[in-house]
Amino acid sequence: MRIGIALVVLGAAGAPLGCDGGSLALPSTDLTGSADAAAPQDGGGGDRAASMDGATPTDGASGIDSALDDAAPAFDLALLDLAGPADAPAVADLAIPLDAAALPDAAAVKDLAAPPDLACAPKCLGRECGANGCGGTCGACPNGQGCGGSGQCTCATPVEVVIYDEAAWNVLADAFKKDPSPCAHYHLSIPAVADGNGEKTVPRGGEAAKMQARGPRFHALAEFHWASWSQVQNMTWFEKGVEFRKRMQTAGYDVTAGDGWAVNELPSTVRYDATTRKNARDAVRGLATGQNGAPVARGAVFTIGMGQPTVNLGPYKANIEDWLKDAAFWSDMSLYARFWGQEVYASPSISCVPNTTVAARSTATNEFVEHVARLAAAGPNAAASASAYLDMAYVPLMNAAWRAPAYDTMISLDQMQHFVSGQVYAARAWAGTHPYPGGRIAFAWTRSVNVTDGELDILGARMASAIHHAYDAGGGAAAGACSPNNAFTWCQCSVQGAAFNDAWQTFAAW
C-alpha cells in the first residue's frame, strides 16, 4: 500500500506554486518494506532533499484541493491515494521507513535526536592507575606493584641495588635482567679508564648505553677514582667534580635517565682529617651540580672501611664518633650523595660458622655490616645530622667477589652462593626493624683469575634470585633470600674453622 502526500502552495490568486509552477509533493512511501524504502545503514535517515532530477511524481494521483484564503499563501494537502498505481516510482532518498522491522538490522537504528552521553568524563590526567571516576580504571600496575593514593604505581618495598664492579659488570647485569625484582632499580658502577698520564680519570665509553638498553630500571654509575683524581693538579676538588661530569656526558652517561657517578675508595683519613672531609664535600658538590645549566645528579660514595676480623676497634670507633659529629659534612652529603656505601666486606671465615642457625649468622653479619649507621643511631644530639642522613642513604657494601684473596672468599662456588644469600637475608631482616638500610642493598663484584663467565653466571643468578624474592611482590620477606618458597636451603654457608667476632657488638652503644 502506498500513501502519496502532496503539498500544494497557493499564491494570492489561488494558483499552485512550485519551481516550475507545478505542485510540490512528497514522494510516495512504501509500507511493505520494498527496496525503494530502505533506510541508510548508519541510521542517518537519508537525504532530506528533493529527488535527483527534482521531478514530482504525477502518475495518476487525483487531487482534492481544499480552498484556502485568497489573502495569503497556504498549503493544500493533495489526495491520500490508498490504491495508487503499483508502478508509481518512489524516490528512495526521501523514503522514511515507518516500520523498523523492515530494516536490514533494526538494532542499528539510533535515536538521532538523543545527545551524546556527556554525563561522565574519565579523570586520568597524571594518573597511571586507580579509579577513573566513571566506573573504570586509569590503568593496571605491573606485577608486584600496587596503586598509591596519588594514582601512581608503587611498591610495598622498593629496592635500590648498588654494585661496585671491578670486572664482569655485564655478566651480573644480565643475571639481574633475567630474574629481576619487580620493584628494583639496579645501579652498577663502571670502572674508569686511564688518561694520558696513566691515571683513571676518564669514564669508560660505550658501557652506559649497554646498561640503558636493558631497560629503564638499569643505570650506569661512572667511577670517580679518588686516588687517581688526587694526582690531578691545578684544579680544585669542586672543579674536578665538574670536569668529571663533563666527561661523563661525552662518554654517554645520561643522568636524566638515572645514570650517575660513584666515588670509589674515599680514603680512611676522612674519619679524622678535616682537609680530607673538605675535599670530599667539594668533590661531591661538583659531581652533583656539574657545569652551569647541567641537571643535578646525586650519586654514590664508597668509603674504605675496616675488615671484619679486626678485634681492636677502640681507635677506629673513636674516629667514627668524631666524624659522625661533623654536622656540616653530613649536611652536604645529604644534598649531594644519594647512596652512602660503607665498604663492609663480610668474610666467610667470620660469618659462616658451622652448626649455627641462619639467625645467628645473620646477627653476626649485621653487627659488622651495619655498624656505622648503628653507632650514629645510638649517638648524642651532635650526631643527629649524621643519623638522619644515614637512615635514608646508608647502604652496606657487602661481599660477592668470589675467589678473591683480598676479599677472603677462597671457598667453593656452592659455599659462595650460600654466603651471598645469607648476606641478602641479613640486610633484609635488619631493614625490617630499623630505618636503615631500608630498601637498599649493595655488593662488590669482580672476576678473579681462573673464574669463568659460566661460573659467574651461576653466582649472579643466585644473587639476582635472592634479591628478587627478598624484595618481591607485596614487600617480600628476608626468608625469600634463602629460597623462593621461604625455606632456608640457600643460606647454609659453612666454613671449617670459622668463628664469630663479637667485638663488633660495641657499636650498639656510643
pLDDT tens digits for 239-250?
Answer: 999 999 999 999
DSSP 142: P
- What average pLDDT does the segment 87-110 reach? 45
- Residue ranges of the chain that CATH labels 3.20.20: 159-508
Q: Is the pLDDT of residue 113 over 60?
A: no
CATH of 159-508, one of 1.10.8, 3.90.1150, 3.20.20, 1.10.287: 3.20.20
d(Cα 284, Cα 278) in Å, to the nearest integer? 10
pLDDT of residue 15: 43
DSSP character for 295?
P
Alpha carbon of 455 to those of 168, 323, 352, 420: distances in Å? Answer: 12, 41, 21, 14
Residue 216's pLDDT band (cuts 50, 70, 90): very high
- Residue 118: predicted pLDDT: 59
Q: Which of 500, 479, 501, 499 is nearest to 490 (CA)?
A: 479
Longest dimension (CA), the chain: 128
Between 33 and 99, name the one with better pLDDT.
99
The three-point CA angle 150-179-426 to 5° equals: 80
Mean pLDDT of all residues belonging to the chain? 83
Q: Whole-angstrom Cα distance, residue 7 to residue 425? A: 92
Structure confidence at residue 90 (pLDDT): 44
Preceding omega of 437 cis (within 30 degrees of 0)? yes
Q: What is the pTM of this model?
A: 0.74
Question: What's the pLDDT tens digit per position in 328-358?
Answer: 999 999 999 999 999 999 999 999 999 999 9
Which range (76-80, 445-449, 463-467) has the least confidence? 76-80
pLDDT of residue 153: 81
- What does the alpha-carbon distance between residue 345 and residue 406 come to, in Å, rounded to a whole number? 10
376, three cell numbers:
650514629
Sequence-ordered strand ranges (E) for 348-410: 394-399
The Cα–Cα gap between 11 and 74 comes to 7
The region of weakest confidence among 128-132, 419-423, 501-505 is 128-132
> Parallel, antiparallel, or unpaired: how do β-strands 74-77 and 2-10 relate?
antiparallel
- Give residue 474's pLDDT: 64
Characterize the bridge pairing of strands 299-303 and 260-266: parallel
DSSP secondary structure of 227-256: HHHTT--SS-HHHHHHHHHHHHHHTT--GG
